[in-house]
Amino acid sequence: MKLTKEQKQEIVDQQSQKNVTKRVTSPALEKILYEALPVLDHGFVRVVDYMGDDTSIVQAARVSYGKGTKKISSDSGLIKYLMRHRHSTPFEMCEIKFHVKLPIFVARQWIRHRTANVNEYSARYSILDKEFYIPDKQHLAAQSDINRQGRGNLINGKQADEILNILKEDAQKNYDDYEKMLNQKYDGTVIDEKKQGLARELARMNLTLNAYTQWYWKTDLLNLLNFLSLRAESHAQYEIRAYADVMINSLKKWVPITYEAFMDYRVGGVEVSSKGKAVIEKLLKGENCSFENSGLSKREWNELMTSLNFSEKAI
Burial class (CB in 10 A: 0-12, 13-18, 19+), 87: middle
Closest CA to 296 of 286, 143, 306, 216: 306
Given the residues 114, 231, 241, 299, the one annotated as active site: 231
End-to-end CA distance of the chain: 43
Q: Which helix (H) or strand (E) holds 51?
A: strand 43-51
HEC per residue, 226-237 = HHHHHHCCCCCC
What b/e sequence results for 202-211 when a residue is b if at least 16 CB atoms lie within 10 Å of its CB, and e otherwise? ebbeebbebb
- Work out whether the CA dihedral 75, 255, 120, 209 comes out positive or negative: negative
Active site residue 86: no
Specify which residues 45 forms β-bridges with.
37, 100
List the catalytic residues: 231
